[in-house]
Amino acid sequence: MNNTKEKKKECHDDLLLRVGLNDNKAGMEGLDKEKINKIIMEATKGSRFYGNELKKEKQVNQRIKNMMQQKAEITIQQLRKAQLQVDRFVMELEQSRDLNNTIVHIDMDAFYAAVEMRDDPELKSKPIAVGSMSMLSTSNYHARRFGVRAAMPGFIAKRLCPQLIIVPPNFDKYRAVSKEVKEILAEYDPNFMAMSLDEAYLNITKHLRERQNWPEEKRRYFIKTGNSAENEKPREEDHILSEHELSVSPLLFEDSSPGLQAPEIPFQVNSEEQNNPLKLQHSVVFGTSAEEVVKEIRFRIEQKTTLTASAGIAPNTMLAKVCSDKNKPNGQYQILPNRQAVMDFIKDLPIRKISGIGKVTEKMLKALGVITCTELYQQRALLSLLFSETSWHYFLHISLGLGSTHLERTFSEISKAEEQYSLCQELCSELAQDLHKEGLKGRTVTIKLKNVNFEVKTRASTVSSVVSTAQEIFAIAKELLRTEIEADFPHPLRLRLMGVRISSFPSEEDKKHQQKSIIGFLQTKKQALAATGCTLETTDQDQCKKPLEMSQKKSFFDKKRSEMKWSHEDSFTCETVKKHDLHISPPFQVLKKMMHENMGTSGKSDNCQIFTCPVCFREQESVSLEAFNRHVDACLGGPSVSEAHASSRDVYKEENGHHSLSLCEKQDSETPQKHTEITSVDSEDLVETIDNTSKVESQGALQSPRSREGCCRLPSASFDSQHCHQNSSVSLEREDGGSSLQPSSHEMITGQALVCPVCNLEQKTSDLSLFNTHVDVCLNKGIIQEMRKDTVNQPKESSTSTGNSDKAQKTTTRAKRTGQITKYSRSKKIKPNNSRSTLDLFFQ
DNA sequence: GCGGATCAC
DNA sequence: TATGGTGATCCGC
């Protein structure tokens, strides 16, 4: 396909891309792209490095050649079959789409360089880079005009920009600044996930909810003036800000704003000093929207560190990350939490922008005509035949704009008793707050402990009168914890997760609050059991496994997530089962539309046009668009919905733990209630359940028998307002969604035997409205609820890495924390005299 | 299982 | 003069 000349050109381009040139936007003072490329080539050509680049290039080209050969051998039938399979998966993904979280990605602008510039005013107006003559970590925006980029060797950068100042990195300083930033971030999401010194993800969903009721004063911040950094901010940044940006909070970012031009205040103010009326005119109030929150975060970062940050706001991490790059530097961008907004954003997005798609993947996909996410979607069937399951699942996630919707943070082992008590107390306080909000009091306090070997123990104690305050709960929890600590003495408890739960709520209270609370809906099964005076015990599953154990089984995002941080707070992943809108649902409409779009555009593709009804999964060939739509509509209204679902039995790994109906159906008869442990809560009865890893897995398997990943999570005996608040209505569809508890959910859907998810009794009716009425009545009888607070141990800030890569620090410390470290290496470049110095330390 | 390739920072 | 260091995962062998 490519002649050699083209190949050479490609290689050349890739090399330039590698050193960050192709997208160079040379300014007037800088160099134009052509000149930059020329200088780089001159410096590169003939070097051993270049030779190796060429070699690697050939390998990739060979891979592509093999792939194209494979493609040529694919038959129409294979492709059709693949299309069916893939579209089934698409539908499951659509059903699992979760737009309820607000994820923020914060990225400090040219972080290392910015810190250096801040601390040495002489550098501010000059092109600088941090690193060495061998390699640069980052450059400031001035240097970037000359084509000087991160990952470029310093000596080449010097050729591009002779006046470039290369500053040796000072990681201690960057760490200190990073800590300041993280302190701010923690206020918005205590469980935020730091990816490196200059990058972090936050889930601000909970913060947003609470913020709605905040008085203005709580959202007021005082502008610290006399900050030279403000005034000397490069002018170029002004016009980079989006209109959106300026319209929201012009005070902050326009130099002409009254706030920043206010006369200098001889002393600095901050939020702790907001009572001084003199300073009111120099304050700014942020709104309650996500956008305003992120504005506020960036404002505070800038005030505290005099450094700017960019941010992305989106319903998942994948999108948030892309967003944060959109208005960089010192800007932000939001994708609104609706499917259309997501798809609009994704539409023309080059796949290379997505984290995880690197140079090679980009090139391979380009060979298949895939550059944008839309093209990625159009070629989904083909890709499923050419790539591994892991890969094409990942591609599909991307092309649908899906990503992780909850953050997980690293575990750090807690072995000290005092820390364990302290954590326990903290959890009790949080739990008490939640209880207070719901107006609940309970009699049973349960602690859950997971040790470093993933063994889970729960210990419960029931008292005669209800408790609700932090002190009361902690008094009980503390004793339970003490018993466990003493039982292992003199060995310390090596914990990786702790949870505190309260249950056994009096029925009056329950009745009073269940209507407004999501708990009632999420805990239908418990309610059913409540009548017998029992609580339901659930065990978390998939995330308990080590990354390697699950690596082959989990969805790409699961893997990605575990790659970043395999850890997790069980409380956040096991709590909720999302509402799934089955047959009446937008997903189908959406899918229909997507197929519509696909039909409209796939003509130019060399791929076969195969239209598969997203409902019945039958191929619809040679039909007009209208006819096809009619068919889909007919299917949507017909019983084949459940049929379609029932047939969807692929092992499907879904990242959020929000399983789809088809998963639930998979359980069928294999999912009796044995996966729940019914715990007697007689007074003073101490309950013990010890789950070892295999048991945990088997429980996960029960929920999803054909896969270990346990993506069907119980709508468990836990409460997390962060995830629950969106689910406020009660409907059959929702019960379907929560039907992982139901042995006969399939039947329920097909109308053959509707089983009430609350009372668990079969209802002899096929009339959905009648059935719904019954469910509603049952819900009103709900008796028991549970609330739970879990946490994982907090990660430690410290790091021992000596490299200039912050990621390396992170992963190293993560591995150490999790006890999973298998290899810890430090290497040195081989000197010309061949005195090798490589050190490999093996742990475990 | 191991090592090379890929990716990220 | 000179093109990093580190860790994780995937995949083929």
pLDDT score recorded for residue A433: 79
Look up the pTM and report it: 0.57
What's the average model confidence in pLDDT over A381-409? 94
Cβ of A543 less than 7 A from strand C: no
Among A236-240, A269-273, A360-364, A481-485, the range of highest mean pLDDT:
A360-364
pLDDT score recorded for residue A792: 44
Cβ of A731 less than 7 A from strand B: no
Cβ of A805 less than 7 A from strand C: yes
Express each pLDDT in A801-818 by its tens digit: 333 433 333 333 233 323
Q: Cα–Cα distance between A35 and A54 in angstroms, integer?
A: 22
A514-526: burial string, b at 16+ Cβ within 10 Å, e else: beebbbbbbbbbb
Please give residues of chain A from 66 to 95 whose alpha-adjacent beta carbon (CB) lies under 7 Å from any atom of strand C. none
Q: Which residue has the higher pLDDT, A9 or A153?
A: A153
Contacts for A125 with CB less than 8 Å, ≥ 6 apart: A142, A232
Residue A813: name the closest of A827, A793, A798, A828 by CA.
A798
Nearest nucleotide (CA of A801 to C1'): C6
Cβ of A361 less than 7 A from strand B: yes
pLDDT score recorded for residue A418: 80
Q: Cα–Cα distance between A493 and A721 in angstroms, integer?
A: 29
pLDDT score recorded for residue A567: 31
pLDDT score recorded for residue A670: 29
pLDDT score recorded for residue A808: 31
Number of CB atoms found within 10 A of residue A587's CB: 24
**pLDDT category of residue A443 using cuts at 50, 70 and 90:** confident
Residue A369: name the closest of A645, A92, A71 by CA.
A71
**Phi and psi of A167, rounded to 5°?**
-100, 130
Express each pLDDT in A51-86 by its tens digit: 999 999 999 999 999 999 999 999 999 999 999 999
What are the structure tokens assigned to A265, written together? 């205040």
User: How distant is C1' of B5 from CA of A51, in Å?
Assistant: 18
Tell me, rounded to whole angstroms, the distance of Cα A72 from its chain centroid: 37
pLDDT score recorded for residue A530: 31
Residues in a beta bridge with A199: A107, A196
Cβ of A808 less than 7 A from strand C: yes
Tokens 């200039």 label which residue? A804
Please give residues of chain A from 316 to 335 whose alpha-adjacent beta carbon (CB) lies under 7 Å from any atom of strand B. 321
Residue nearest to nucleotide C9 (CA to C1'): A563
**Torsion region of A210: left, alpha or beta (phi above 0 gives left; psi -120 to 50 gives alpha):** alpha
Q: Cα–Cα distance between A330 and A314 in angstroms, integer?
A: 17
pLDDT score recorded for residue A468: 87
Cβ of A823 less than 7 A from strand C: yes
User: How distant is C1' of B1 from CA of A549, in Å?
Assistant: 15
Q: Cα–Cα distance between A99 and A120 in angstroms, integer?
A: 44
Cβ of A62 less than 7 A from strand C: no
Express each pLDDT in A463-516 by its tens digit: 888 888 888 888 888 888 888 888 878 777 777 667 787 878 775 444 344 333
Nearest nucleotide (CA of A392 to C1'): C10
Q: What is the mean pLDDT of chain A?
A: 63
Residue A147: name the closest of A300, A340, A16 by CA.
A16
How would you classify the pairing of strands A495-503 and A456-467? unpaired
**Torsion region of A311: left, alpha or beta (phi above 0 gives left; psi -120 to 50 gives alpha):** beta
Q: Cα–Cα distance between A299 and A334 in angstroms, integer?
A: 17
Nucleotides of C under 7 A from a protein CB: 1-12
What are the structure tokens assigned to A719, written together? 């409460």
Nucleotides of B under 7 A from a protein CB: 5-9
> Please, are residues A450 and A456 in contact by the beta-carbon 8 Å criterion?
yes
